[in-house]
Structure 1
């Protein structure tokens, strides 16, 4: 089980999940649009519809199953297992939490889809970088996050890294002129999406802190993702039919440049990639904080263009390298703060023993 590993092993695993999953999902999403995909609700649906992949993991990492495997069949063990079943009030609270997170995720993903459709790539990426600033704000106000100079430096550097990457991105498909109605719609959709995403991360952290969701285990990460994604998927399915986009999906698949099979596989792997991303994101929120999780997500922004150079034969320039170096510098700055906190804690423990 993942929680049997020490924290310094678990956290890198979640980091790898987040970076690899987000990079793959972003590149596949670009492939979807470049090859003829155009459905905003479908792009939203695949971000949550991979939740059935979590079902085998939920059974494998079930606390009851683990207790039976690790314990004996005496009365004390049986009593412990029985107490793990939540009360009716607990179930009601969890139901409201999962429905709320699922609906927020649906709205956030849809707003991002509209933002990407109506905005040039550079403007969209620049506005997405505000996620980190919103997360810092919500972490301070909701999660009582302390901002030391290294953490503040980390937020500034990673935001600057994303901004530099966005400003120097060539707009290959600017559908609308600046400041027309569509541009304004895309602008506010992306800003609201960034704020909602950051708020949701902070609320997930608060749920773990207040023990509304039983944290500390990999099962807790899987559980919140499964129910949140289930609600979000149901909402997206309703959106697909209510918007009428379902009538265009057959033609979209037939007109996909790489063929129908490639269309299906692209959507399938996008769904898988987003689930891997979500596991990494929620895992880092549980293990560290929502701010740290968003720092890692922002760190992925300059990583994606590096992969795009090899996959899509994009141009590599100095701005991309500088952006990546700034991102790494910002990440190391945050890690340095954790080193200082750990050293301070060890000194305090030694003084307490003495």
Structure 2
């Protein structure tokens, strides 16, 4: 009788823990303790923030220094994926998660054809999205480009609702509306303050092209994040962090091949030598800038995909928005861009929207703790009776 009671308590605690771990907003890795999960979240947040800030600033530096190749700017966003092969080698192979009905029966692995089709589709979407971002970064000032990227959160919220069954609360809705308003301020903002950076005859057309491509890229990026989360949850269903590197390596491989084809087909490869020779900072700085962009984007991408795997695509995107106050400041300090009142208001609105979502995460954490305490009390009461 005593053994039966102990088994009941143990099973009840395990069931309660499983319910908490598979909640929609926070899905820790199955075998990680709570503090280890938060540590992984912190590391991935750091990767995302540092990588995205560095890649954006260096990407603008490439164009400011005389870089003109859009396909080269796109290629470096995925070409450094081989650096991930070393950490991937030391990580354990990803194991399938158990089914809901039993803890001993594992789901069947997706076929090689299914995985190849998945990575090819996501890699193609990644390549197209990177190209659109390159156009936007080329034709827009860094501050305008960064603030306009805030629209991706609004798109991501919509895609997450339909694809990932993301919960909508008043605070999340407020976050989406506020950040969307921040992006709309930039779209209605007269480009007169940016004309010093656009002295070419077709500067107005370039500004419109940059704005349109950046907005389209934001929508595509939001779709990509939601599809990655869907793939982790419904197709791959693995418990090891190695699946994050697999996702990044294979999709980047596909995107790199597409960019190489684009670089060759467009004829831009013929101008790369001349572009390097006429670089304002010299050949060495030109090459190091491209290498730095490539490495920074890989660091950023690992953080992005890691947060999707550990938490959710919407949370990953919210963290991306945290770089908004950093990139415009970098543009002002490094490139002497103007930071006038409209951009300041748009930036503050973006921060307000970010804070709104973070507060929602805080409320969700408090609710989870309450549920955990109630579950523990219920198990103890049932065992004592």
Superposition TM-score, scaled by structure 1 size = 0.83
Cα distance change of structure 1 residues 129 and 250 upon mapping to structure 2, 3 Å threshold: same
Q: Greater CA radius of gyration, 1 or 2?
A: 2
Check the 8 A contact 1:3/1:10 in 2, yes or no. Answer: no
Cα distance change of structure 1 residues 149 and 199 upon mapping to structure 2, 3 Å threshold: same
Check the 8 A contact 2:58/2:289 in 1, yes or no. Answer: yes
Cα distance change of structure 1 residues 306 and 164 upon mapping to structure 2, 3 Å threshold: farther
Deviations 1:209-265 (A, max 9, x none): 11x224443211111000111111111111111111111000000000111111100
Check the 8 A contact 2:119/2:247 in 1, yes or no. Answer: yes
Question: Which shifted more, 288-297 or 267-276?
Answer: 288-297
1:119-134, aligned counterparts within 5 Å?
124-125=145-146, 127-134=148-155
Cα distance change of structure 1 residues 27 and 3 upon mapping to structure 2, 3 Å threshold: farther
Aligned-partner Cα distance in 2 for 1:309–1:229: 32
Question: What corresponds to 1:147 in structure 2?
Answer: 168
Deviations 1:39-71 (A, max 9, x none): 00000000000101101111011338x9xxxxx
Aligned-partner Cα distance in 2 for 1:168–1:125: 16
Pairing 1:222–2:245 present:
yes
Cα distance change of structure 1 residues 184 and 328 upon mapping to structure 2, 3 Å threshold: closer
Question: Which shifted more, 340-349 or 51-60?
Answer: 340-349
Question: What corresponds to 2:227 in structure 1?
Answer: 203
Aligned-partner Cα distance in 2 for 1:184–1:229: 29
Check the 8 A contact 1:49/1:233 in 2, yes or no. Answer: yes
Aligned-partner Cα distance in 2 for 1:267–1:245: 16
Task: Please list every run of 5 or more consecutive structure 1 residues that lacks an aligned counterpart in the other structure.
Answer: 67-82
1:73-88, aligned counterparts within 5 Å?
none
Cα distance change of structure 1 residues 320 and 37 upon mapping to structure 2, 3 Å threshold: same
Question: Which shifted more, 135-144 or 169-178?
Answer: 169-178
Aligned-partner Cα distance in 2 for 1:337–1:143: 18
Deviations 1:197-218 (A, max 9, x none): 11111000101111x2244432
1:39-50, aligned counterparts within 5 Å?
39-50=69-80
Question: What corresponds to 1:29 in structure 2?
Answer: 59
Aligned-partner Cα distance in 1 for 2:332–2:76: 25
SS at match of 1:248: helix
Deviations 1:114-141 (A, max 9, x none): 3444556676555433211111110111
Aligned-partner Cα distance in 2 for 1:303–1:60: 34
Question: What corresponds to 1:348 in structure 2?
Answer: 371
Aligned-partner Cα distance in 2 for 1:30–1:121: 7
Question: Which shifted more, 235-244 or 318-327?
Answer: 318-327
When the two chains are superposed, the root-mean-square deviation of aligned CA atoms in Å is: 3.1
Check the 8 A contact 1:165/1:302 in 2, yes or no. Answer: no
Q: How many residues align?
A: 333
Pairing 1:257–2:280 present:
yes
Aligned-partner Cα distance in 2 for 1:195–1:244: 28
Pairing 1:100–2:121 present:
yes
Cα distance change of structure 1 residues 168 and 221 upon mapping to structure 2, 3 Å threshold: farther
Cα distance change of structure 1 residues 19 and 126 upon mapping to structure 2, 3 Å threshold: closer
Check the 8 A contact 2:148/2:186 in 1, yes or no. Answer: no
Deviations 1:61-103 (A, max 9, x none): 1338x9xxxxxxxxxxxxxxxx99x85x522211111111111
SS at match of 2:371: helix
Pairing 1:7–2:17 present:
no
Task: Please list every run of 5 or more consecutive structure 2 residues that lacks an aligned counterpart in the other structure.
Answer: 1-28, 96-104, 379-385
Check the 8 A contact 2:92/2:242 in 1, yes or no. Answer: yes
Aligned-partner Cα distance in 1 for 2:224–2:320: 15
Question: What corresponds to 1:247 in structure 2?
Answer: 270
Residue 192 of structure 1 is aligned with which of 216, 235, 240? Answer: 216
Deviations 1:257-282 (A, max 9, x none): 11111110000000000001101111
Deviations 1:284-307 (A, max 9, x none): 111221111111212212211223
Superposition TM-score, scaled by structure 2 size = 0.77
Check the 8 A contact 1:303/1:324 in 2, yes or no. Answer: no
Deviations 1:164-194 (A, max 9, x none): 578488313334365x5x6665454333322
